[in-house]
Amino acid sequence: MHALIAFIDLTAVAVFAASGALVASRKQMDLIGFGLMAAITGVGGGTLRDLLLDRPVFWVADAKPLAVCLAVAVVLFFTAHVIQRRYQVLLWADGIGIALYGVMGAELARLSGAGPLVAIVMGMMTATFGGLIRDVICAETPLVLRKEVYATCAVAAAAVHIGLVFAGIPIEAAAIAGFGAGFALRAAGIVRGLSLPPYKGRPGKDY
């Protein structure tokens, strides 16, 4: 299980790092800027998760996650121009990341003894955190402010995983189902613009 968690962590780190490096390319940063954005975005969500759960921060004791971030940054610094539709790739990488971290954040919270509500919120927060700081630092519109489903996908990934685990399904199957649900939902958001009904009230007299 520990090996599986470490592997999923590395995958999530890599895709978030790629999304961070792609934002760096949109801002015409230099190689160190690519490394900074890849590292912050790549390990941001897992760092928040570990601080909240009072676990040792996963990339401090083990250099592999940072090595992955920096490798992704270097590769994209020299190759991002071959990607024609870079913002789309950024969205897909980010989408894989939120589905993975939605499951991972919820599962690690559950292993720490948290109940379902805390586990699902932990999945939601840690999945969206890396992308949030990436967008805030780079003055991009945070993806949570866009109309199509986003945080919803992290919630779906976490809720499906936690629901199946509490229903007695083996953890690996529950994790795959959770990831699939979250990622499929996000894919529908990116491709079809799928959205939940927004708040409909008037903006308020003193907006």
Q: Within positions 10 to 69, which residues make up the interface with a second copy, using CB under 8 A? A: 24-36, 39-40, 47, 51-54, 56-57, 59-61, 63, 66-67
In the complex, the smallest distance separating the C-beta of residue 168 from a second copy, rounded to whole angstroms, is 22
17's tokens: 């790092």
Q: Any contact of residue 93 with a second copy (CB under 8 A)?
A: no
Nearer to a second copy, 32 or 173 (CB): 32
Nearer to a second copy, 4 or 63 (CB): 63
Cα separation, 140 vs 47, whole angstroms = 22
Which residues from 176-205 bind a second copy, rule CB under 8 A?
Answer: 195-205
Count CB neighbours of 129 within 10 A. 22
CB 174 within 8 A of CB 150: no
Cα separation, 159 vs 78, whole angstroms = 39
Nearer to a second copy, 87 or 172 (CB): 87
CA 92, 14, 141, 129 dihedral sign is: positive
Chosen residue from 114, 157, 158, 164 binding a second copy by CB under 8 A: 114
| Closest C-alpha to 187, from 156, 164, 145, 141 | 156
Residue with tokens 């071959």: 82
Query: Which residues neighbour 96 within 8 Å (Cβ) at sequence distance 6 or greater?
Result: 11, 12, 15, 183
Chosen residue from 5, 10, 111, 121 binding a second copy by CB under 8 A: 121
Chosen residue from 15, 93, 108, 125 binding a second copy by CB under 8 A: 125
Nearer to a second copy, 166 or 172 (CB): 166
Give the number of residues in contact with a second copy, rule: CB under 8 A.
Answer: 76
